[in-house]
Amino acid sequence: MDNHHAWPGAVPEQGLFSLADLEPALIKELTTRSVDLFQDRNGHDRPLEGQAVGVLFTKTSTRTRTAFTVGATRLGGTAVPFGPHDLQLNTGETLEDTGRVLGSMLDALVARTSGPLDELRMLSRQGHLPVVNAMAAQEHPSQGVCDLATLRHVFGDPTGVRLLYVGEGNNTAVALAHGLAAVPDARVTFATPAGYGVPESELRVAARRAEGVGAAVEQIHDLAFAPKDVDVIYTTRWQTTGTHKTDPAWREAFRPFHVDGTLLKRWPRAVFMHDLPAHRGEEVTGEVLDGARSLAWTQASMKLASAMAILEWTTMPRS
């Protein structure tokens, strides 16, 4: 049986940098394909056969690094791992030169670095190389694909979904904003501590997209103003990988945004999501994280399928 997947048109740059770059139809296709591969991990024709995929992680990772490494292998490719001290960037070689060299040897690069998103775009341009943003300070788009795929898997069709995000407006939140803004009639509300919200510039971009599909993106700083109807409550750990809070009293600002059984009772039919890792007792209680309404472990499993879908699309031949 031919399991080759026909993808819609590609974006101008090579790779996945931000979900804001992708048309709604492509985001839908990526999440649909993720669910297909979640249900049948062999539902492909090994499209990465003979290809080498660099997996560069200069920051810690359990799920994302494992997902892309295993995903490249399952699709027939060879994963080439790089740790935080492996490249000559540490000895002063320029990013431009690094991109040229990697592009001459690799077929794609998955990267989580400590630098800004623009550095990943530069690696792609200099190396003429598809690059996947496996988390930058600004956004975590592969997590966004995973989260939307999880919603599609659970709800069948995420059209009209109502999601309440509780906690820090970090790179996962940015990906959710851009991703859900592409879902017809969806509504995402970010309940964040004042001073720790989703950047207004990102919200404006997401809101413009949302208008085109009847969706809504909003931010509040007090859970008393949370929507009456919520299908999903989502949180992340309060200390995002690679970040540091300068205010020594920051935990006091975050305490009202703790997800526990009392909060869930406000929306008795809502499911719970968490991108992991979790710190039980901080952003969420163990009762919620490990409870019957939690999708956190389904999300974790979906990471592999969504990584495979992203790699399959990213490395497809360009006309």
Which residues lie across from 189 on neighbouring strands? 164, 218
At 7 the pLDDT is 59
Instruction: Please return the burial class of 129, using the count of CB atoms within 10 Å of its CB with bins 0-12, 13-18 and 19+.
Output: buried
* Distance, CA of 243 to CA of 172 (rounded, Å): 13
SS3 124: helix
Q: Comparing C-alpha atoms, which of 4, 44, 99 is closest to residue 308?
A: 44
At 115 the pLDDT is 82
* One-character DSSP codes across 205-269: HHHHHHHHHT-EEEEES-GGG--S--SEEEE--SS-TT---S-TTHHHHHGGG-B-HHHHHTSTT
**Residue 101 contacts by C-beta under 8 Å, 6 or more apart in sequence?**
127
| Chain centre distance of CA 246 | 26
Q: Which two tokens stand for residue 35?
A: 């669910």
Per-residue pLDDT of the chain (319 residues; tens, 9 = 90+): 456 676 555 444 689 999 999 999 999 999 999 999 999 999 999 999 999 999 999 999 999 999 999 999 999 999 999 999 999 999 999 999 999 999 999 999 999 987 899 999 999 999 999 999 999 999 999 999 999 999 999 999 999 999 999 999 999 999 999 999 999 999 999 999 999 999 999 999 999 999 999 999 999 999 999 999 999 999 999 987 666 788 889 999 999 999 999 999 999 999 999 999 999 999 999 999 999 999 999 999 999 999 999 999 999 876 5
At 317 the pLDDT is 78
What is the C-alpha R_g of the chain? 19
At 214 the pLDDT is 98
Helix, strand, coil abundance in the chain, percent, nearest 5: 40, 15, 45
Q: Comparing C-alpha atoms, which of 223, 247, 224, 246 is closest to residue 235?
A: 223
Q: Which two tokens stand for residue 245?
A: 């809070």
232 with 298: CB under 8 angstroms?
A: no
Q: Which amino acid is at 258?
A: H
Backbone angles phi, psi at 56, to 5 degrees: -105, 115
Q: Which two tokens stand for residue 202?
A: 């990102």
Q: Which domains does the chain have, with CATH numbers?
A: 15-139+303-314 (3.40.50.1370), 142-300 (3.40.50.1370)
